[in-house]
Structure 1
Amino acid sequence: MIIRDFEPRHTEEAAEIALDVYNYERAFTQELPEVSSIPILKQLSGNGFGVAAFEGGKMVGFLCSVEPFENVFRSTDVRGVFSPMGANGAVMENHGRIYAALYQAVAKKWVKAGAVSHAICLYEHDEEAKRQLFQYGFGMRCVDAIRPMETIDCVVCGGYEFLELPKEDYAYVYPLHLALNEHYCSSPFFMNRKPDTLEEFLDFSERNKERYFAAKIGGELCAYLEVSDQGETFIASGNLYRHIMGAYCMPEHRGRGVYKNLLNYVINTLKTEGYTRLGVDFESINPSGSGFWLKFFHAYTNGVVRRIDERIMQRASLI
């Protein structure tokens, strides 16, 4: 096996592999749409942070990433890299061995650039690649999931009002947004994100055209769900797709079916508008969140993460 730097001329061969592994996942997760191209490959092909594997002159795998960035997961003080969905893949034969060789080669580039957090998006059913990267110190952290825009079975809970908030009422979501940030800090989450100010929260919502759906009781908000027109994977956008970006229910209202009913309200609203798929991404380290979403959505990616020993940076120039 020969490992080379990934270059723009490799994009076409890599796209064939990427489509093959995507379609393999579609066999398990039929809500995924049919695609004919992997646009992110062209964006990443010339940044110098990818490698490709060849055998007999034919590409058998590739592993690319975005350029290193600071404040990984918005809750650390370290630099990291991320290989998104579609930015890595390998043929089925010797699948794990190819991923092992690709990561060993590309990790040198990432560490030389000062990245100590390495994140790679793999497909939910790519067990061989996950097993190989777990052996290299990775663990699962993030999940993308999808469902058809059809309501879920649940009992109607009385006493609650479900609605989409007008823009002038977005500020009422802010206390729940802060409560969600506090939840991030709890065990086993341990994500200490700096919360937005009210002005930042409202500005972000305006710029990104976020929509907020809520549950009320006694005129007060007790749960919300934030919907966007795009998520973090290349299929998480388009005219027929909408994505959940944030969600929180006050503890005293959990276990009453509030969130199931709120989700159904959102689904009915979006279905009426012509949308056919609903997606969500969440941290697998959030037991309450992942437990809820996986009841009603089908996972199609696993984000695996490795935090390398930072003292190696003292010798990064020798790697």
Structure 2
Amino acid sequence: MIIRDFEPKHAEEATEIALGAYNHERAFTQELPEISSIPMMKYLSENGFGVAAFEGEKMVGFLCSVEPFENAFRSTDARGVFSPMGANGTVKENHGKIYAAMYQAAAKKWVKAGAVSHAICLYEHDEEAKQQLFRYGFGMRCLDAIRPMEAIDCATCNGYEFLELPKEDYASVYPLNLALNEHYCSTPFFVNRKANTQEEFLDFTRRENVRYFAAKTGGELCAYMEVSEEGETLAASGEIYRHITGAYCIPEHRGKGVYQNLLNYVINTLKTEGYTRLGVDFESINPAGSGFWLKYFHAYTNSLVRRIDERIIQRISLI
């Protein structure tokens, strides 16, 4: 096996491999839409951070990433890189060994660029690749999941009102958004993201064109769900798709079916508007959240993360 720098001339073969990997996952997660291209492939082939594996003249795999960025996961001081869905893949034979060789070569580039947080998005059912990266010090952090726009089976809960908030009421979500940030800091989550001011929060809602659905009791907001037009994967977009980008329920209202009923309200509303698929991304290190989402959605990606020893940067000339 030969590992080479990923170049524009490799894009066509890489696209074929990426689509093959995606269609393999579709056999397990049938809600995933059909796709025929990888729009980011041109960018990936030109940024200099990818590698390709060859057996003779045949490409057997590729591993690319976006350019290194600061404040990985918006909650650390680390510079990170991320290989998103569609930016990596291999042929089926010697799957794990190919990923091992490609990561060894790509990681060298990433570390030379100062990136100590390495994230690679793999498919939920690609156990061989996941096990190989686990052996290289990766752990799971995030998942993407999807479901048909069909109501879930749950009992109704009395004493609660479910509604979509008008834009003039978005400020009422802000205290719950702050509570969500506090929840992120708790064990075993330990994610300390910078809290927005109310003005920044409202500016985000306008800029991203999000919608807020909520549960109320006694006239007070007790839970909300933020819905956007798209998520962060190739599958998380399109005219028939919507994505959950934020969610929180005040602790004393949990376990009463409030969030299940809020989810159904969102599903029924979006279904009447013609949407057929609903997606969500979430952290596996959030036990309450991941337990809920995995009960009602089908996971199709796992993002694996490795945080290398930062002091290796001091010896970068020896790599």
Could you tell me the TM-score, scaled by structure 1's length? 0.99
Structure 1 contact 283–290 (Cα < 8 Å) conserved: yes
Cα distance per residue 1:222-261 (max 9 Å; x no partner): 0000000010101111100000000000000000000000
SS in 2 for 1:302: strand
Matches within 5 A, 1:76-95: 76-95=76-95
Q: Distance in 1 between matches of 2:209 and 2:158?
A: 31
Unpaired segments ≥5 residues, structure 2: none
1:160 aligns with 2:160: yes
Aligned-partner residue type, residue 168 of structure 2 = E
Deviates more, 1:135-144 or 1:41-50: 41-50
C-alpha deviations, 1:119-152, integer Å up to 9, x for none?
Answer: 0000000000000000000000000000000000
The CA RMSD over aligned residues, in Å, is 0.5
2:29 is matched with: 29
Q: Matches of 2:23 and 2:199 in 1, distance apart?
A: 43
For 1:192 and 1:278, the matched residues in 2 are separated by 28
**Aligned equivalents of 2:268, 2:316: Cα separation in 1:** 53
User: Which residue does 2:137 correspond to in 1?
Assistant: 137
1:236 aligns with 2:204: no
Match of 2:116 in 1: 116
Contact 1:63 1:88 in 2 (8 A): yes
Following TM superposition, the consecutive aligned residue runs of length 4 or more in structure 1 with deviations greater than 4 angstroms are none
**Residue in 1 that maps onto 2:219:** 219
Residue in 2 that maps onto 1:192: 192
Looking at structure 1, the residues matched to 33 and 317 of structure 2 have their Cα atoms a distance apart, in angstroms, of 44
**Structure 2 counterpart of 1:126:** 126
Once the two structures are superposed, the pairs formed by residues 99-114 of structure 1 within 5 Å of their partners are 99-114=99-114
Q: What is the distance in 1 between the residues matched to 2:42 and 2:224?
A: 37
Pairing 1:178–2:178 present:
yes
Amino acid at match of 2:123: Y
Provide the rounded CA distance (Å) in 1 between the counterparts of 2:316 and 2:145: 37
**How many residue pairs end up in the alignment?**
319
Matching residue's letter, 1:263: L
The amino acid of 1:190's aligned partner reads F
Q: Hey, what does 1:250 align to over in structure 2?
A: 250
SS at match of 2:102: helix
The equivalent residue for 1:10 is 10
CA distance, structure 2, for counterparts of residue 141 and residue 113 of structure 1: 23
Read off the aligned partner of 2:103 and give its amino acid letter: Y
Kindly, what percent of the aligned residue pairs are identical?
Answer: 82
Alpha-carbon distance in structure 2 between the residues aligned to 1:42 and 1:245? 28
Supply the AA of the counterpart residue of 1:244: I
Structure 1 distance, partners of 2:142, 2:40, is 19
Contact 1:5-1:50 at 8 Å conserved across structures: yes
**Deviation string, structure 1 residues 43-77 (Cα, Å, up to 9, x no partner):** 21100000000002010000000000001111100
Match of 1:276 in 2: 276
Partner secondary structure for residue 120 of structure 1: strand
Match of 2:33, SS?
coil
Cα displacement (A) at 1:96: 0.2
Name the CA distance, whole Å, in 1 between partners of 2:317 and 2:146: 43
* Pair 1:49-2:45 in alignment: no
**Residues 61 and 90, structure 1, Cα contact 8 Å, conserved in 2:** yes
Find the aligned partners of 2:290 and 2:316 in 1 and give their Cα distance. 37
TM-score (norm 2): 0.99
1:40, 1:234 within 8 Å by CA — same for their partners in 2? no
Which one-letter code corresponds to 2:213 in the other structure?
F
Q: CA deviation at 1:317?
A: 2.0
The residue number in structure 2 matching 1:208 is: 208
Q: Secondary structure at the match of 1:39?
A: coil
Question: What letter is aligned with 2:45?
Answer: S
